[in-house]
Structure 1
Amino acid sequence: METKKKNRRMTLDQMKDKHIGEIGSEEREKYEFDLRLDVLGEMIKSVRKERHLTQEQLGELIGVQKSQISKLERNAKNVTIETILKVFKALKANIKFSIEMADGDFKIA
């Protein structure tokens, strides 16, 4: 008798639910927030390169060291919104923030 393997396919959301936590859980919220910040850093790097700027040149435009731009591109967690806005202004790029209230806490969407 031949045994058949079940073809089990999971969506990305189902995998996140299983391995990280369900939507609304503390673990899932932290994961989603960190992911957004990682994407933000990658966006800054991408736009900087499209504008043919080095990290040093971008830093000079906003008054920070090259190392701060490097840190921002790798990890946007420890940066103020003011700095992010300065960066995108220097890059001549628009940025939009969406803030939602959920159970009294702010969430960046």
Structure 2
Amino acid sequence: MISDGTIVTLPRNRKKGIDVNEFIDNTVGKPGSNQRNQFESELKMEVFQELIKAARKKRNLSQEELGQLIGVKKSQISKLEKGYENTSIITISKVFNALKATVRISVEIDGQHLEL
């Protein structure tokens, strides 16, 4: 999905494949552009949302039960999983801690990975 809410799909009759990066460059923008940065940021949040939902289900917890573990209402867990609100790293950390999941954050500067 692109930030304006449109969904981009390839035509069904397309016979020659296209590189994913080329497709994203052509439809979203080149790396470093504002539109591309926003797209990649939204995509990363969608990954977090799916990971939270998958981990919750693996632990056989309802949204309400997970909410009770971290002190929020079911509706907030639902919004978190659906991406209806901005989420802080602290909230994400609380959720994964409640799910007994380990989270690792990777930081890269000038092609070098920083680790603690």
Question: Same fold by TM-score, threshold 0.5 exceeded?
Answer: yes
Which of the numbers 93, 96, 100 marks the counterpart of 2:101?
A: 93
Structure 2 residue corresponding to 1:24, chosen from 32, 41, 56: 32
Query: Are residues 1:35 and 2:47 paired?
Result: no
Question: Displacement of 1:38 after TM fit?
Answer: 0.6
Structure-2 change in CA distance of 1:76 and 1:86 (3 Å): farther
- Structure 1 residues not aligned, in runs of 5+: 1-6, 103-109
Change in 2 beyond 3 A, CA 1:21/1:12: same
Return structure 1 stretches of 4+ with deviation > 4 angstroms.
none
Please, which of 12, 16, 22 is the counterpart of residue 14 of structure 1? 22
Higher helix share: 1
2:104 is aligned with 1:60? no
8 Å contact kept, 1:40–1:76? no
Contact 2:29 2:35 in 1 (8 A): yes
Find the counterpart in structure 2 of residue 106 from structure 1. Answer: none
Partner of 1:84: 92
- TM-score where L is the length of structure 2: 0.76
Distance (Å, rounded) in 1 between the aligned partners of 2:105 and 2:84: 15
Aligned residues between the structures: 96
1:9 CA drift (Å): 2.6
- The higher relative CO (CA closer than 8 Å, separation ≥ 6) is in 1
Percent sequence identity is 46
Deviation readout 1:40-67 (Å, 9 max, x if unpaired) = 0010000000000000000000000000
TM (norm. structure 1) is 0.81
Pick the structure with greater CA Rg: 1
Structure 2 unpaired stretches of 5+: 1-14, 111-116
Q: Whole-Å Cα distance in 2 between the matches of residues 89 and 21 of structure 1?
A: 36
Q: Which residue of 2 aligns with 1:46?
A: 54
Report the CA distance between 1:8 and its aligned residue.
3.8
Aligned-residue RMSD, C-alpha:
1.6
